[in-house]
């Protein structure tokens, strides 16, 4: 295949001219406003209410129609004319990518276009929701939400287990309230209990766990109130530390062996229970290990004595920990440590291993212990009481987070899903809601939230509702640059997530995932089995193309390294071949007519037929090159390097 310098960029540009070029749009302003009163609407729709009372549960289609009506009314009042409904090709591709993260096949595109059934879009949504790829796609979305903000690099080792667990939750319609409760109250081996992902990602630090749980599950950013009252919201410093007081008894225990290690999330309900024998009683610790009775410990003596529980460690003293202890305690550098030297060691600054109570530091006297804080939920002032164990505290936190009387729990996920599917949310950014922020189309948002709560927080119901709305089915258009412009008059073009691009590439090229960047190399033995996912092709691709799902869509654009990868990656270029049994080779053999082959190529890569203008451009290139296989290789390469391939339309 040849890639002449004079045709590469003009060809790729011409093929996508007028499609989705305006991906970068003006910065969205965040309006300051007033508290949105919701009264008791959520309390009237508690999960399970429909089972005990003869109350009609809102259907997805019914809620979608009501939302469309409210949005159209507000747009009309503002003098805004919405775009028309997108064609079948665009809807099929959009819904397939949003719901399952997979491109529709050329056959799917053709059959969907020919289907005369007026309800085919609703039926399509049901088929996509029934696919295992539904849960997998959205599990990867939430994986990125959690791990993009991780403070613990090793937490990435457990992300594959988290994806599998969450995919099962969404595929089986486990309520989002139950999922959130599992994440907030999780304990155990991080690989065997993937719901520990959030705690592991934040190293078990109670302030960080509290802030991230609040951001992810409530859409409220409280972390700015850690050191001072929130500068742009109503939250006070005490409120943040009362939230953090739900989580101080979490600890991470690491078990290290020659070929594997495990990390566990544990409850530590007393400082003594954390196993800090060395610091609590250094004399006893030295006596236990002192084999030659000289009241001093050597590294060898510490290595030979099994069964010692260090702070956050399993029985036995790993060599790395011994070295760290000697670095801190061996003041005279005689390669021996005494009880006195252990006492003089600085206190460790290690995640999840502090006091079992939370203290708010005194900014005037940082060396002091600070003010003892008791758990208190900032939304409604609920207090679980005192003298509670770790799990009792976290269960109380989960109950307050997921309560049907807490409007922010439903709003947070509804806003995220809506934004992910339409390109803009009711609130922007999607993780910065709160009583001083104003939602666009607040009545429409509340209608979806109430239906979501009434349907037991079923994520499938939520996706079904959005996908069946006329608002979701509108044509794509560039967002207005006016700060006062209302959203949802059209669908905003957005860049696809890394996983979706990766899956689209391997589908279009007809290659296997493990072959994209060559075989995985290295990897670490963890929890008894090989885990090389972080060195595999998907992980490497995600490292280059990954985006934080919490970012505003207008801020997510391509960059030079990504462009160079798609244009110059040797394996991708070698896969774009018309010879042998390649995907393109089979396509050309099955379609000897050039016009038919062009149509099939567009259906394969972009899930649509080429326009008349595109056919003219392609035929001109075929004539110029003169060699059919070579020209079609150029065309295929240009199509998956186009902005349309990397975007939703």
Which residues make Cβ contacts (< 8 Å) with residue 439, sequence separation at least 6? 36, 411, 415, 426, 427, 433, 445
Lowest mean pLDDT among 192-196, 288-292, 328-332: 288-292
User: Is 60 exceeded by the pLDDT of residue 225?
Assistant: yes
Rounded to an integer, the average pLDDT of 486-498 is 93
Predicted confidence (pLDDT) per residue in 346-392, tens digit: 654 343 344 689 999 888 888 788 899 999 999 999 999 988 999 99
What are the angstrom distances between the C-alpha of 182 and each of 162, 212, 243, 398?
12, 15, 18, 8
- Give the whole-angstrom CA distance, residue 489 versus residue 79: 11
Predicted confidence (pLDDT) per residue in 17-56, tens digit: 433 333 323 322 333 332 333 333 343 444 334 444 457 8
pLDDT for 441: 97
Predicted confidence (pLDDT) per residue in 397-434, tens digit: 999 999 999 999 999 999 999 999 999 999 999 999 99
SS3 262: strand
pLDDT for 318: 58
3-state helix, strand, coil in the chain (%, to 5): 50, 5, 45
pLDDT for 293: 85
Which pLDDT band holds residue 268 (cuts at 50, 70, 90)? confident
User: Is 60 exceeded by the pLDDT of residue 511?
Assistant: yes
Predicted confidence (pLDDT) per residue in 591-600, tens digit: 999 999 999 9
Rounded to an integer, the average pLDDT of 201-208 is 95
Tokens at 55, concatenated: 């109350």
Lowest mean pLDDT among 38-42, 67-71, 481-485, 575-579: 38-42
Rounded to an integer, the average pLDDT of 483-497 is 90
Q: Are 578 and 629 in contact (CB under 8 A)?
A: yes
% the chain with pLDDT above 70: 81
Half-sphere exposure for 567 (CA within 13 Å, toward CB): 15
Rounded to an integer, the average pLDDT of 119-131 is 98
Write the DSSP string, 295-346: S-B-HHHHHH----B-TTB-BS--HHHHHHHHHHH-TT-SS-B-HHHHHTSP
Q: Are strands 371-373 and 494-495 parallel, antiparallel or unpaired?
A: unpaired
Q: Which residue would you say has higher pLDDT here, 360 or 481?
A: 360
pLDDT for 644: 95
Tokens at 188, concatenated: 């155990």
What are the angstrom distances between the C-alpha of 560 and each of 37, 155, 495, 538, 642?
46, 29, 15, 19, 14
Q: Which residue would you say has higher pLDDT here, 270 or 143?
A: 143
pLDDT for 544: 84
pLDDT for 565: 84
Q: Are strands 371-373 and 529-531 parallel, antiparallel or unpaired?
A: unpaired
Q: Are 29 and 482 in contact (CB under 8 A)?
A: no
Predicted confidence (pLDDT) per residue in 581-593, tens digit: 899 999 999 999 9
pLDDT for 54: 55
- Give the whole-angstrom CA distance, residue 377 versus residue 242: 7
Q: State the chain's mean pLDDT as an integer.
A: 83
- Give the whole-angstrom CA distance, residue 128 versus residue 121: 11
Tokens at 618, concatenated: 């392609």
pLDDT for 270: 62
pLDDT for 262: 83
Rounded to an integer, the average pLDDT of 155-159 is 92
641, 402, 395, 410: which is closest to 508 by C-alpha? 641
Which pLDDT band holds residue 326 (cuts at 50, 70, 90)? confident
pLDDT for 347: 53
Which pLDDT band holds residue 259 (cuts at 50, 70, 90)? low
Please state whether 67 falls in left (phi above 0), alpha (psi between -120 and 50) or beta: alpha
- Give the whole-angstrom CA distance, residue 298 versus residue 310: 16
Tokens at 18, concatenated: 């007028």
H/E element, 530: strand 529-531
pLDDT for 386: 87
- Other C-beta atoms closer than 10 Å to the C-beta of 460 total 21
- Give the whole-angstrom CA distance, residue 608 versus residue 53: 48
Predicted confidence (pLDDT) per residue in 54-101, tens digit: 578 999 999 999 999 999 999 999 999 999 999 999 999 999 999 999
Q: Are 467 and 99 in contact (CB under 8 A)?
A: yes
Q: Which residue would you say has higher pLDDT here, 221 or 328?
A: 221
């Amino acid at each position: 295949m040849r890639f002449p310098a004079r045709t590469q960029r003009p060809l790729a540009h011409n093929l996508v001219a007028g499609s989705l070029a305006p991906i970068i749009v003006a910065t969205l302003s965040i309006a300051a406003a007033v508290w949105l009163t919701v009264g008791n609407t959520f309390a009237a729709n508690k999960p399970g209410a429909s089972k005990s009372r003869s109350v009609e549960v809102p259907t997805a289609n019914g809620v979608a129609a009501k939302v469309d009506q409210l949005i159209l009314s507000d747009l009309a009042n503002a003098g805004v004319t919405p775009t028309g409904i997108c064609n079948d090709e665009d809807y099929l591709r959009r819904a397939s990518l949003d719901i399952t993260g997979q491109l529709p096949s050329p056959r799917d595109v053709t059959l969907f276009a020919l289907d005369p059934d007026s309800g085919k879009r609703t039926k399509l949504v049901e088929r996509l929701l029934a696919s295992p790829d539904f849960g997998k796609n959205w599990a990867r979305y939430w994986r990125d939400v959690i791990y993009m903000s991780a403070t613990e690099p090793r937490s990435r080792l457990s992300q594959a287990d988290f994806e599998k667990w969450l995919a099962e939750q969404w595929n089986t319609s486990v309520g989002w309230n139950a999922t959130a409760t599992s994440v907030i109250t999780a304990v155990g081996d991080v690989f065997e209990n993937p719901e520990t992902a959030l705690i592991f990602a934040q190293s078990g630090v109670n302030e960080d766990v509290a802030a991230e749980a609040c951001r992810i599950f409530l859409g409220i950013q409280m972390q700015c109130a850690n050191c001072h009252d929130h500068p742009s919201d109503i939250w006070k410093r005490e409120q943040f530390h009362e939230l953090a007081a739900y989580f101080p008894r979490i600890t991470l225990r690491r078990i290290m062996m020659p070929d594997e290690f495990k990390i566990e999330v544990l409850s530590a309900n007393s400082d003594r229970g954390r196993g800090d024998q060395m610091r609590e009683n250094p004399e006893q610790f030295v006596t236990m290990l002192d084999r030659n009775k000289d009241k001093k410990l050597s590294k060898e003596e510490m290595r030979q004595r099994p069964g010692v529980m260090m702070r956050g460690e399993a029985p036995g003293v790993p060599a790395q920990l011994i070295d760290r202890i000697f670095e801190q305690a061996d003041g005279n550098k005689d390669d021996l440590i005494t009880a006195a030297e252990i006492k003089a060691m600085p206190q460790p600054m290690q995640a999840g291993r502090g006091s079992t109570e939370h203290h708010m530091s005194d900014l005037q006297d940082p060396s002091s212990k600070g003010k003892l804080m008791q758990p208190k939920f900032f939304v409604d002032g609920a207090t679980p009481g005192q003298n509670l164990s770790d799990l009792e505290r976290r269960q109380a936190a989960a109950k307050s987070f997921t309560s049907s009387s807490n409007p922010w729990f439903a709003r947070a996920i509804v806003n995220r899903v809506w934004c992910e599917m339409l390109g803009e949310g009711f609130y922007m950014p999607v993780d910065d809601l709160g009583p001083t922020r104003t939602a666009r189309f607040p009545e429409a948002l509340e209608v979806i939230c109430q239906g979501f709560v009434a349907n037991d927080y079923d994520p499938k119901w939520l996706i079904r509702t959005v996908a069946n709305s006329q608002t979701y089915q509108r044509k794509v258009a560039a967002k207005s640059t006016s700060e006062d412009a209302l959203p949802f008059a059209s669908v905003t073009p957005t860049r696809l997530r890394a996983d979706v691009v990766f899956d689209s590439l391997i589908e279009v090229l007809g290659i296997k995932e493990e072959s994209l960047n060559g075989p995985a190399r290295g990897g670490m033995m963890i929890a008894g089995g090989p885990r090389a996912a972080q060195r595999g092709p998907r992980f490497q691709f995600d490292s280059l193309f990954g985006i934080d799902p919490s970012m505003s869509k207008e801020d997510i654009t391509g960059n030079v390294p990504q462009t160079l990868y798609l244009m110059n990656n040797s394996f991708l270029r070698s896969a774009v071949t018309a010879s042998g049994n390649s995907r393109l080779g089979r396509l050309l053999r099955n379609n000897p007519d050039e016009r038919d082959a062009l149509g099939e190529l567009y259906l394969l890569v972009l899930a649509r037929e080429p326009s008349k203008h595109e056919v003219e451009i392609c035929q001109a290139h075929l004539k110029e090159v003169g060699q059919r296989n070579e020209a079609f290789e150029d065309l295929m390469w240009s199509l998956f390097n186009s902005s349309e391939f990397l975007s939703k339309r």
